[in-house]
A and B are shown apart, each in its own frame.
Chain A
Amino acid sequence: MLFNSIEFGLFFLLVTAAYYALPHRFRWSLLLGASCLFYMAFVPQYIFILFTTILIDYVAAIYIDRSAGVKARCLLITSIISTCLVLFVFKYFNFFAANIDALARLMHWNYSVAALKLILPIGLSFHTFQSLSYVIEVYRKRQKPEKHFGIYALYVMFYPQLVAGPIERPQNLLHQFREEHPFDYDRVKRGLLLMAWGFFKKLVVADRLALYVNHVFSNLHDYHGVTLLVALIFFAYQIYCDFSGYSDIARGVASVMGFRLMRNFDQPYLSRSISEFWRRWHISLSTWFRDYVYFPLGGSRTTNWKTCRNLLVVFAVSGLWHGANWTFIVWGVLNGLYVMVEVMTKGVRSRVYEHLGVPENNFMLTAVQTGLTFSLTLIAWTFFRASTVGDAWYILSNMGRGLTLQSVSDGGFRREDYLIVPWALLILEGVEWGQRRFNLVEKLTSLSMPWRWAAYQAAAWLILAFGVFNKNTFIYFQF
């Protein structure tokens, strides 16, 4: 069940109405049932896989809490391995098998592994990481194990964030299922506004840009020069609006029912450096890797060489988390290299600015840094979006060939879309800027009723009139 479907609209209305109609003690079971239904709308039988990982981590956490020392560590490792094993079989087995096959052919060995014909359970990487964070936090004694199986299952399966995050921490989410959330008019209104903003990002911006991007990327060799560059910039906005749109809808849905989910994006394309970009992009995943991989490896409180190694490991694993393909690994490693260079040149850059008398907050410097960061991100996105490393290389090497924007009308991107896209992007940037500078939501909700309703109607009709309603899945569902 996609957020951008009529089915979800009805589902949301019914679940929310029932949620507020039921007494608090029954609400968890309603949400759990609704979450199961939501998940089963994709591939019903995969609920058993999810149930298995939930059961393993639920039991493991209780035993980890009761144990100490080596025993607790062994239990933690067992839990992590068994949870990751599911992820490996469904997501990575075929990738590793294909690479071992290729290596064997190269070495003239007579060896082959049969590929598994499995469909990747939707959102597997997300709920696997959410489960892992729970057992690790219990092991670190920062979270008490949840004794109520239903509540724990709901923590993993909570439908707004089940398939594409944000990847929550138990300290933030788990206790909220025990708290009573009475109907709060303002909170519900803000939740609905956040959902509307998410729908705008997804339906008006991301799905419209997708028409252009998908056509160019599936007919790469017909295009060159500016067309490729435009497709790449469009992809940068597509993926941002697709994923942050999903996160906004998820946070909005949760907020309507009284839950607070963490913010996953903070205008990442305004970052002045790659490390800042990663503090503002998919925050729940970045902080997950920081807390459970980077810090345990030693973080930056070690020698320069080890810091660089840690960064590369974290980004390579992050790339692999996104997908079982070399393109994702190259994307991850490339980002790791960017951050490595940034860390290593930090002192030199500070000295240069000091020498030139340029303050850190200088407008020109900020603009150059933001532009450079965006350009580096674009190069990395090339690998993320391309089907093969060869395709990515084709884009990068042909981007400078030609200044004419070729027509891409065959992909469903119509003449009028060229008119809508700039306006949609302008609204996107304008609203985000306005929200940052003036808190637009506050201003909107404080308007008198006729103006407020006019604004709500305008927003609703803007989405309906210029949205693309072809039930496009969210990009991050595949991860």
Chain B
Amino acid sequence: MAKRFLLKFICFVLVSLGIALGLQELLVFGLNRCNTSTRGVWNKIIRGDVNAQILVCGSSRALVHYDPRIINRELGKSAFNIGQDGTFPDLQLSCLKTYLAHNRAPLYVVLDVNRTCFCTTKHPYAPEQYIPYLDEPDLYRHLVSLDTRFARERKFPLLGIIENRLFLTAFGGLVRPHAKEDHFDGFEPKDKAWTSEFAKFKASQPTGEVLEIENEGVRAFRNLIECCLQCKAEVVLVYSPEYWEAQSLTRNRRDILAKVQEIAAEYGIEFWDFSEDPICLDKSLFYNSQHMNRHGAGLFSKKLSERLKGLCSPGALATARVADVQPK
């Protein structure tokens, strides 16, 4: 009786494996067909459909602060935002390299800097955003060095789909690739009011915190700039608005800003600090201390475009462009 059961069990497992292989092909195809949301942004990048003249790069702050549609309207140049949620310069570099592998190099790169710009990724945040792009060599190499799960998810994409709850997304890609859009040229506007996150942070860290300036983080940040300069793009470092009350809670904020300033000077690139802009005083423009909502992002993008106009004028470009990618 046990033998009969074992035989049936093995047959059942084999049938399951067959189904798994079929599903894997079908679902990866579905994910690649998604035209909207985060996956839509990635698919556009991988297909090489972006080729923007102005590229915004950075973390979640970049993702929700820079509206390429406004930049495009104000400057008459195509713009795209490749800001990635929960990333630090090391992972942002991998994303940028992936972008450059499939798209024309941009003329200008707006590199968003923030208080964590000299930190490195310890655990990739929201790993599902990288499925099924693990065949991209730059991205994969870095991700797998952070977490070995990406190795098995690359080998068995169905496992990645199951572990990251992408079954329905992939299925949606098969039957309805043009779902409701929440990303606009890579930008993700947030319709949110002020939440309790900052109050909780303040309660847990009443005297604030020190964010380490990691040597590895500084190196990754430099690599990111050098990668942009190598493709002859004009780089601007931008510290987008940060709610004023939170600024004093990063106790080494001055050191971080000084380091950014120092690196900008080394490479001869501009550094625009918007953290003293009046936007920072208006709580209604933020949903937490680090992130602006749709309204705040709109105001900021307009202000940024005004400044970019100066940089993008032919005269300014000639004086600002650096010939060598190495620090001066």
Show the binding face of A for B, using Cβ within 8 Å: 20, 183-185, 188-189, 219, 221-222, 414, 416, 419-420, 453, 456-457, 460-461, 464-469
Contact A465 B167 (CB under 8 A): yes
- The answer, among B2, B19, B163, B199, for a CB contact under 8 Å with A20, is B2
Q: What's the Cα separation between A189 and B8 when bound, in Å? A: 11
Chain A residues with CB under 8 Å of B4's CB are 185
Contact B12 A456 (CB under 8 A): yes
Contact A453 B5 (CB under 8 A): no
- The answer, among B2, B162, B169, B172, for a CB contact under 8 Å with A469, is B162
Contact B1 A183 (CB under 8 A): yes
Chain B residues with CB under 8 Å of A466's CB are 167-168
Contact A219 B162 (CB under 8 A): no
Contact A420 to B168, CB < 8 A, known contacts A183-B2, A185-B5, A465-B162: yes
Most buried by B among A222, A456, A468: A222
B197 at the interface (CB under 8 A from A): yes
Interface string of B14-34 (1 = CB under 8 A from A): 011001000100000000000
- The answer, among A20, A188, A221, for a CB contact under 8 Å with B196, is A221
Interchain residue pairs A-B with the least CB separation, the first 5: A465-B167, A416-B168, A183-B2, A221-B196, A222-B195
B165 at the interface (CB under 8 A from A): yes
Count how many pairs of residues, one from A and one from B, have CB atoms less than 8 Å apart in the complex. Answer: 45
Q: What's the Cα separation between A219 and B12 when bound, in Å? A: 45
Contact B167 A185 (CB under 8 A): no
Chain B residues with CB under 8 Å of A221's CB are 196, 199
Q: What's the Cα separation between A184 and B5 when bound, in Å? A: 10
Chain B residues with CB under 8 Å of A461's CB are 19, 23
Contact B19 A457 (CB under 8 A): yes
Q: What's the Cα separation between A456 and B165 when bound, in Å? A: 21
What are 28 A-B contacts defined by CB distance under 8 Å? A20-B2, A183-B1, A183-B5, A185-B4, A185-B5, A188-B5, A189-B5, A219-B197, A219-B200, A221-B196, A221-B199, A222-B195, A416-B168, A416-B169, A416-B172, A453-B15, A457-B12, A457-B15, A457-B16, A460-B16, A461-B23, A465-B162, A465-B168, A466-B168, A467-B162, A469-B162, A469-B163, A469-B165
Q: What's the Cα separation between A467 and B164 when bound, in Å? A: 10
Show the binding face of B for A, using Cβ within 8 Å: 1-2, 4-5, 12, 15-16, 19, 23, 162-163, 165, 167-169, 172, 195-197, 199-200
Q: What's the Cα separation between A469 and B162 when bound, in Å? A: 8
Closest to A463 in B: B162
Contact A222 B165 (CB under 8 A): no
Chain B residues with CB under 8 Å of A465's CB are 162, 167-168
Closest to A189 in B: B5
Closest to B11 in A: A453
Contact A219 B195 (CB under 8 A): yes
Give chain A nearest CB distance to B229 CB in angstroms: 36
Q: What's the Cα separation between A467 and B165 when bound, in Å? A: 7
Q: A219-B195, A221-B196, A414-B165 are in contact. List 18 more A-B contacts (CB 8 A).
A: A183-B1, A183-B2, A183-B5, A185-B1, A185-B4, A188-B5, A219-B197, A219-B200, A221-B199, A222-B196, A419-B168, A453-B12, A457-B19, A461-B23, A465-B162, A467-B162, A468-B165, A469-B162
Chain B residues with CB under 8 Å of A468's CB are 165
Q: What's the Cα separation between A184 and B2 when bound, in Å? A: 8
Most buried by A among B1, B19, B199: B1
Chain A residues with CB under 8 Å of B200's CB are 219
Chain B residues with CB under 8 Å of A184's CB are 1
Q: What's the Cα separation between A185 and B42 when bound, in Å? A: 50
Chain A residues with CB under 8 Å of B19's CB are 457, 461
Q: What's the Cα separation between A188 and B12 when bound, in Å? A: 15
Q: What's the Cα separation between A468 and B163 when bound, in Å? A: 7
Chain A residues with CB under 8 Å of B1's CB are 183-185
Q: What's the Cα separation between A460 and B4 when bound, in Å? A: 21
Q: What's the Cα separation between A460 and B9 when bound, in Å? A: 13
Q: What's the Cα separation between A456 and B9 when bound, in Å? A: 11
Q: What's the Cα separation between A219 and B4 when bound, in Å? A: 53
Give chain A nearest CB distance to B196 CB in angstroms: 5
Chain B residues with CB under 8 Å of A189's CB are 5
Q: What's the Cα separation between A460 and B20 when bound, in Å? A: 11
Give chain B nearest CB distance to A450 CB in angstroms: 11
Chain A residues with CB under 8 Å of B168's CB are 416, 419-420, 465-466
Contact B196 A219 (CB under 8 A): yes
Chain B residues with CB under 8 Å of A222's CB are 195-196
Most buried by A among B19, B165, B199, B200: B165
Give chain A nearest CB distance to B58 CB in angstroms: 19
Give chain B nearest CB distance to A208 CB in angstroms: 8
Q: What's the Cα separation between A466 and B199 when bound, in Å? A: 35
Give chain B nearest CB distance to A41 CB in angstroms: 20
Give chain A nearest CB distance to B152 CB in angstroms: 11
Chain A residues with CB under 8 Å of B195's CB are 219, 222
Closest to A468 in B: B165
Q: What's the Cα separation between A416 and B167 when bound, in Å? A: 10
Q: What's the Cα separation between A222 and B192 when bound, in Å? A: 11
Q: What's the Cα separation between A419 and B169 when bound, in Å? A: 12
Q: What's the Cα separation between A457 and B165 when bound, in Å? A: 19
Q: What's the Cα separation between A464 and B16 when bound, in Å? A: 11
Q: What's the Cα separation between A221 and B199 when bound, in Å? A: 10
Most buried by A among B163, B168, B169, B199: B168
Chain A residues with CB under 8 Å of B199's CB are 221
Q: What's the Cα separation between A188 and B4 when bound, in Å? A: 12
Q: What's the Cα separation between A154 and B23 when bound, in Å? A: 43
Give chain A nearest CB distance to B33 CB in angstroms: 16
Chain B residues with CB under 8 Å of A453's CB are 12, 15
Q: What's the Cα separation between A419 and B165 when bound, in Å? A: 13
Closest to B5 in A: A185
Q: What's the Cα separation between A33 and B5 when bound, in Å? A: 26
Closest to B171 in A: A465
Chain A residues with CB under 8 Å of B163's CB are 469
